[in-house]
Amino acid sequence: MTTATATPRRRAVGTPRRLNRHRLRASFNKNALTWLALGIFLFLYLPIFILVIYSFNANKVVGVWTGFSFHWYGELVRNEAVLDSLRVSLWVAIWSTLASTVLGTMAALALERYRFRGRLTFDGVLYLPVIIPDIVMALSTLLFFVIFAIPLSRYTILIAHIAFNISFVAIVVRARLAHMDTHLEEAAADLGANEWTTFRRVTLPLLTPGIVAGALLAFTLSLDDFVITFFVAGPGSTTLPIRVYSMIKFGVTPEVNAVSTLMLVGSSVLVIISLLVQRRS
C-alpha cells in the first residue's frame, strides 16, 4: 500500500520540474533565435544604411562626416556620363521587360494548361537561368554572340536580359495560374465564347496581377544586373551598374553613394509594388 501511494507523489513532484525545464528551454530558444535574426539583419542591412547616410555627406572624403547636404545628388544631375548610362539602362530594362513579359506569360500558359511532347524538358530548361550562377549565364551568352559573330552593343544586352527575365516572369505568372479557378473559363465556353474571347475577357483579366508583378520583377532585375551585362556590353552601351563599377575604381566618393542610394530606392519601390500587386490579387 505504501509503494502504491509513493509513485503518484513522485510524478506529482516531477511534473512541475519538467514543465519549468521545458519553459526555460523554450524561452532560451526563442531569445537565441531572436538575437540571431537581429544579428543577420544588422549584418545585411547596416552597411546599406551607412551608405545611404553618407550619400548626404557634405565632405568629399567618405569616412569624414562634416554636415548634411544634397550636393552630390546635384552633381549626379549634372554628370552627363551617369545620365547617359541611366538612359541605356532604362532603354534595356523597358524593352526587355515588354518582350520577356509576353514570352514568359505564353510559356507559363503552355506549361500549366497543355500537355505536349518534351514538356518536362522545356520546363527544366526554362528554370535554368534561375538556378545557374550569373557568371555561367554571362559566359554562355557571350559565347553565343561570339559563335554567331554578333557585335556587342546595347542589343546584345537586350537579348541577354530577355533570356534570363523570361524565367522569372513565367514563375510568377504560373503561380497565379495554379490558383486560378478554371471553372470560370469553362462557364464562358458554355455561354458561347470562343477560345480567344474567353482568354481576352476571362483569363487575361484574372492573370493581370501576376503579369504586372512579373513585369515589375523583370524590370528590377534588368535595371540592377551587372554580371551578365558586363560580359555582353559593347562600346557605347554602358549601363548604370557598370558606370558605378567604373567610378569605384577611382575611389568611393559620396557621388557613388548617391547613385547607389537612388538605385536602391528605385529597386525597392518596384519590388514593394510587385508584392502589393500579388497580395491584393
Q: What are the pLDDT digits (tens) for 209-222?
A: 888 888 988 998 99
pLDDT band at 99 (very low <50, low <70, confident <90, very high): very high
Q: Examine the pLDDT at 2 and tell me if it is beyond 70.
A: no
Contact by Cβ (8 Å): 233, 40: no
Across the chain, mean pLDDT equals 82
pLDDT at 4 over 60: no
Question: Is the pLDDT confidence value at 155 over 90?
Answer: yes
Contacts of 38 (CB under 8 A, 6+ apart): none
Indicate the pLDDT class of residue 278, thresholds 50, 70 and 90: low
Does the pLDDT at position 262 exceed 50? yes
Question: What is the rounded distance in angstroms from the CA atom of residue 47 to the CA atom of residue 220?
Answer: 21
Instruction: Return the higher-pLDDT residue of 116 and 230.
Output: 230
pLDDT for 148 equals 92
Residue 13: pLDDT band by 50, 70, 90 thresholds? very low
pTM as predicted: 0.75
- Pick the range with the lowest mean pLDDT from 8-22, 126-140, 185-199: 8-22
Query: How far are the Cα atoms of 83, 94, 230 from residue 80, in angstroms, in the given order?
Result: 5, 21, 20
The residues, ordered by sequence, that sit 6+ positions from 21 with a Cβ below 8 Å of its Cβ are none
